[in-house]
Amino acid sequence: MTCYIFADLLVLLGRDAYHAQMTETLFLLFLLAPIVAGAPYLLARWDAYKRADNARRRAAQRRRMERTAK
């Protein structure tokens, strides 16, 4: 699954290899699971924000164009 860099450091500090590997695997699982689960939600929120921002910009530009056209 991973190259177990953190596990190698734990082994150097005196942890046995199996528990070091399990510690790193669980750490990565608990670190990556919220990121993977939350990424689509965050992308949807970012998309909604950018669409609203673009709509505000287009409306402001339209108002400027209407003022200069008169």
d(CA 54, CA 47): 10
pLDDT at residue 3 tops 60: yes
Residue range 16-50, pLDDT digits in tens? 999 999 999 999 899 989 999 999 999 999 999 99
Tell me the whole-structure pTM to 2 decimals.
0.55
Residue boundaries of the structural domains of the chain: 5-69
DSSP codes, the chain: ----HHHHHHHHTT--HHHHHHHHHHHHHHHHHHHHHHHHHHHHHHHHHHHHHHHHHHHHHHHHHHHHH-
Confidence at residue 5, expressed as pLDDT on a 0 to 100 scale: 83
Secondary structure of 51-62 as H, E, C letters: HHHHHHHHHHHH
